[in-house]
Amino acid sequence: MTERICAAVARSSVAEAIAAAEQAASGADVIEIRLDYLQEIAIPPILAAIDTPLLFTNRPRWEGGQFAGAEEVRLAPLMEAVELGAGYVDLELRSPAESLWRLKDCLGHSSTRLILSWHDFLQTPGRDGLLATLQAMQDKGAHIGKIVTMASDFHDVLRVLQLQEDAARMQFPLISFCMGTPGVISRLATLELGGYMTYCSVGEGGATAPGQLSVDSLRQILTCLRG
């Protein structure tokens, strides 16, 4: 499985989002467009402007995002992205069952891949809890799972990275790493341990989560490690 570096773009306008995506395109394999940061959402111009595979996310406040409206309004642009052939859409594992059902129905036989994501911005649960979350993602029909937690020490980091072994046994593509200073290394290590993808900021100071490296920094580190 080919590893992927995803640049997360969180801008307030479509024009700014496109500019940031173009800036990151040379170093990123996937570009995440955080729709919850946009003041006005417009999917077609973003897809038309960017050749790099796009991932659309409309993160609600209850999962650390910016969207605070009705669930049907939050879901609508994700469904539009599927209909227009986006590479990926991200839906939170804790989303209402109807949202998951509607999005999966929209996916149908499309080539768009569904990421079911789960974030804990306060801590890293125990192994049993993490495994239950991983299993739920597969059971609910995700093409790819995403588990991201806040690390307080290296024990948390190792517990989250170990999920890659479980995911490989399940034959289930998984994104897993930790936020926070102790978790920085996991954003790199996950690529060497079978992780499907890691996330970076477009540039320095543009992180969308604690401990996020820039695309350029991550590429430089990988170049040093691999010679």
Rounded to whole angstroms, the maximal C-alpha distance in the chain is 49
Helix/strand number for the chain, H first, E second: 9, 8
What is the pTM assigned to this prediction?
0.94
Q: What is the pLDDT of residues 14-48, one digit of tens each?
A: 999 999 999 999 899 999 999 999 999 999 999 99
- Sketch the domain layout of the chain as residue ranges: 5-226
Of the pLDDT bands very low, low, confident and very high (cuts 50, 70, 90), residue 112 is very high
The predicted structure's pLDDT at residue 1: 47
Does the annotation count 143 as an active-site position? no
Q: Name the catalytic one among 119, 140, 143, 155.
A: 119
Is the distance from CB of 220 to CB of 200 less than 8 angstroms?
no
Which residue's entry shows tokens 């995506």?
A: 21
Question: What number of residues does the chain have?
Answer: 227
Does the annotation count 104 as an active-site position? no
Eight-class DSSP state of 69: S
CA angle, 5 then 164 then 227, to 5°: 45
Domain 5-226 has CATH 3.20.20.70: yes
Q: What is the pLDDT of residues 156-191, one digit of tens each?
A: 999 999 999 999 999 999 999 999 999 999 999 999
Q: What is the pLDDT of residues 117-150, one digit of tens each?
A: 999 999 999 999 999 999 999 999 999 999 999 9
Q: Name the catalytic one among 104, 140, 143, 146.
A: 146
